[in-house]
Structure 1
């Protein structure tokens, strides 16, 4: 019985909480109907008074001299143009959307499960803001900052919030506030927040979304910001190596200096973010009258002045430069909550792939869970927008070959073009063609033997962008840290091309130049930052200028450790390829025949060469994605 009572109270509180916005909207509708009714009664009374007094309902127009009328119209137009220009330059640039105009729901935002759950809680708190304040004494969030890389779903999520909240959605780009007229930017910001408050009073609540708020919210002059970004280093070069991620978390001190006009814009934004509850025009008029009457009354009989009515508003802003925003914007009371939209993990990418493929034509093989899992694996580092773009490019390939839907081959070609670039016909000499094929085969064999956990994706000797040839390889699963053995293996893979050239040609070309840069960078991270070399001193902690490689090269002991590590890893690669020259030859010959191997074709050539079987790449039936 007691449990039923508790459950009944919970349901009653839930119903009251969920009805905050609707109750405020109904109250506003009653106020507006009352005003219309009073205005109608006043007009009807005036008409009856004119009728009963024997006068026409509409008074006769006065006669006026045509010349005087022309002068009045001219000066009236001049005044209207002047006032119109001032009004137009200061009007709010927002676009108003009604909930029924927005089709996106939170359930449609895929690959962002943790953020979506937090958004739902924030939305519930927004809808129950009045109950939360009245019953619990708390203040609901009024500002949420969406931060993250481009294309991670920030705007999409804001639209979903507006649709599910059932209140007006005021969308504006921060650049739309900017104006060449002095002071107009501040007037636009004031006008925008005024319209936001009006919409909230009219509908019981309103949501504002400011896109790229860093355009008007950069730190003011003299403000020092500190940040510790995690920089990802990816290398794709003529030597043909890609797929490594190295973290550099060295603190960076950034000082932003902006003009006085921009500082004034930030100040206006700060004031408006803190001043949601303001008196309406009618309340200010009443207050003016009350003040005049109170001047005639004793202190004990003073009339109360009207108080501002709280409005239920939520301001959402999006940026991919949160570290550059003014710190005052990020304090509680303005943007109370910061939500980070990161790149989706493998499970999130699989969810996105399933979601997009429901709407895009595809062949039966892409309904296979294995193919979809493989696609989720090879799209590591992709944003939701980039995944959708990849599928669209695959559809373009399908149209070109006259198919009704995309296939796995279309996706592989789309990835090759979007990640590396279009193939460019180059008239290689026979020696160059054989040299480049041997170089790339050396990379691939080293990767296949030293890092079997990695996925060999693309091996080509077709010139694309700045690469004469390349090997693209990546992790089979999402990886956030790397061991000393893994980093060492990646350095050895980088030396695979140079070692193969030495073994088969007895000479070295300029092709390994990019590989050496790559290997040196990784080795510097191991020794100078991760403590994986002969010292526990972090060169990254040094206050001196230059990057990590420069600091190690400038230190005699550091340079020595760097050279020893690189020499050791090259020797490992040499010993490995000397014992497996037949694998390099098999892969080289396959490249010379096909010029490009994708996905499972690489592993198939090496597997059959190791077992002594002949290789027929025309038979693609045994190939599986990501094998």
Structure 2
């Protein structure tokens, strides 16, 4: 109340002085400068470290992390040097200062950091890289100092020999220096982090281990990546089929599963899923079962959950009958060509709208593939073009629904060219003229389109049969599709 009275009196005084002819502009400028200085000083005094302190991560162990055996093995080996510090010291081994976890989002980097804390019996202090950056110079550097001081203080209070600092999204503050020429706050923050990590010595009563996570290791400053700061760089990859199965088993332990649930089949159909995706998949399957008033989760619920995780929720919009038929023809074309090149590869065909897709075909890779042959890439281009070709055969023209398919086919053709699988043989990506690149891409796509058109013309009756079934049922699973194909061949 007093503050408002003083402000009101000061404003009234300035107005009065202005009315009697006194120049009040210098006074206003002085008051403004004084207020700005006060704001900066007050802001600096209120700076707090952004860390979240966890004195115990009991219950979080490496046994709870599935599908990352290689990463866990490498991380555990590094942690053993800290856990068995006295033995390591006899061999002249210094404690590790930093471990950088790299990998796609949702692969379990944060969970691995917490498990590491439990493994070496230490306090756990976490922060995000974005929490260190402010508009005021020096704030980030001060927060870095506070972060390390807090870790040491909390470890001493908890009577622990080790402290773990976990920094998520470290690329925010650890990017190559000099990128932000107009704002040196980033560089100052990184410089302080470099100093703090260099300041960790084996003679300290508390050994501090910095664990950081990023999915952009390519932009991190080399000074931070050198041995002596981040001694180990552990790649946390997307899980393979066996890893996905292990993760699914972990996330379904507390869920009632029906007898028809086949986790191996689900693991096979979830190529490219991270651990976070798989956890969400299990949760969505349980939600679907609850919606149907079931007391157990069925295989059908898991398959529908896969569709939702990939494509999103079903939409209420209903295309016209003419559009539904075009969508059915398009998806049937993809499915038939997929089955031709990769038998038993189709898991589901649907013309139900989800997310941005009016319909889609979900394929099952026989095995996780990491290297692609020329034949495989050509078959994938053919599958991508098959939807538009099917529309042309049965309806006379294609639609805008094939635009994403064309983009995918073009990217696959580029991959062929830059992998030396085209008529150009081995080429330099930077020196290849754009006109020549366009010409070769067009040739590859035209060749595959002609092959697909010939194939679908031969299977025209089967295509119509599948389209009619889709129009009536809106969905076909892989086994039903292959049953229709078998009947068509028998006829």
Confirm or deny a common fold (TM above 0.5).
yes
2: CA distance between counterparts of 1:508 and 1:205?
65
| Aligned positions, number | 451
The alpha-carbon deviation at position 330 of structure 1 amounts to 0.9
Q: Structure 2 vs 1, CA of residues 127 and 506 (structure 1 numbering), >3 Å: closer, same or farther?
A: closer
Q: Structure 2 vs 1, CA of residues 277 and 578 (structure 1 numbering), >3 Å: closer, same or farther?
A: closer
The alpha-carbon deviation at position 508 of structure 1 amounts to 3.5
Q: Structure 2 vs 1, CA of residues 424 and 168 (structure 1 numbering), >3 Å: closer, same or farther?
A: closer
Maintained 8 Å contact 1:129/1:312: no
Matches within 5 A, 1:86-105: 89-99=46-56, 101-105=57-61
Structure 1, residues 560-582: CA drift from partner, whole Å, max 9, x if none?
A: 43333222212211221222222
Give the aligned partner of residue 186 of structure 2: 262
Q: 2:74 aligns with which of 106, 109, 118?
A: 118
Q: 1:149 aligns with which of 104, 107, 116?
A: 104
> What TM-score, normalized by structure 2, do the two folds share?
0.85
Q: Structure 2 vs 1, CA of residues 181 and 565 (structure 1 numbering), >3 Å: closer, same or farther?
A: closer
1: CA distance between counterparts of 2:154 and 2:84?
18
2: CA distance between counterparts of 1:448 and 1:588?
15
2: CA distance between counterparts of 1:593 and 1:457?
19
2: CA distance between counterparts of 1:140 and 1:465?
50
Give the aligned partner of residue 174 of structure 1: 129
1: CA distance between counterparts of 2:204 and 2:402?
70
Give the aligned partner of residue 616 of structure 1: none
Give the aligned partner of residue 362 of structure 1: 257
1: CA distance between counterparts of 2:388 and 2:212?
50
Residue 420 in structure 1 maps to residue 376 in structure 2: no
Q: Structure 2 vs 1, CA of residues 258 and 319 (structure 1 numbering), >3 Å: closer, same or farther?
A: farther
Matches within 5 A, 1:310-389: 311-366=206-261, 371-389=262-280
Give the aligned partner of residue 322 of structure 2: 431
Residue 586 in structure 1 maps to residue 465 in structure 2: yes
Maintained 8 Å contact 2:284/2:305: yes
The alpha-carbon deviation at position 336 of structure 1 amounts to 0.8
The alpha-carbon deviation at position 521 of structure 1 amounts to 2.3
Give the aligned partner of residue 62 of structure 2: 106
Maintained 8 Å contact 2:109/2:213: yes
Instruction: Judge which range, 472-481 or 386-395, deviates more.
Output: 472-481
Q: 1:452 aligns with which of 339, 343, 354?
A: 343
Q: 2:452 aligns with which of 537, 561, 573?
A: 573
Q: 1:505 aligns with which of 386, 395, 399?
A: 395
2: CA distance between counterparts of 1:85 and 1:431?
67
The alpha-carbon deviation at position 258 of structure 1 amounts to 6.6
Give the aligned partner of residue 619 of structure 1: none
Unaligned runs of 5+ in 1: 1-80, 223-255, 279-307, 544-550, 613-627
SS in 2 for 1:210: strand
Give the aligned partner of residue 118 of structure 2: 163
The alpha-carbon deviation at position 407 of structure 1 amounts to 1.1
2: CA distance between counterparts of 1:261 and 1:452?
57
Maintained 8 Å contact 2:419/2:426: no
Maintained 8 Å contact 1:457/1:474: yes
Instruction: Judge which range, 333-342 or 505-514, deviates more.
Output: 505-514
SS in 1 for 2:93: coil
> What TM-score, normalized by structure 1, do the two folds share?
0.67
1: CA distance between counterparts of 2:343 and 2:297?
30
Q: Which has the larger radius of gyration?
A: 1
Q: 1:395 aligns with which of 286, 293, 296?
A: 286
1: CA distance between counterparts of 2:183 and 2:247?
43
1: CA distance between counterparts of 2:64 and 2:320?
53
Maintained 8 Å contact 2:171/2:217: yes
Maintained 8 Å contact 2:128/2:167: yes
1: CA distance between counterparts of 2:322 and 2:51?
63
The alpha-carbon deviation at position 459 of structure 1 amounts to 1.4
2: CA distance between counterparts of 1:175 and 1:497?
44
Maintained 8 Å contact 2:133/2:185: no
Q: Structure 2 vs 1, CA of residues 566 and 402 (structure 1 numbering), >3 Å: closer, same or farther?
A: same
Structure 1, residues 254-293: CA drift from partner, whole Å, max 9, x if none?
A: xx75721221111111111111249xxxxxxxxxxxxxxx
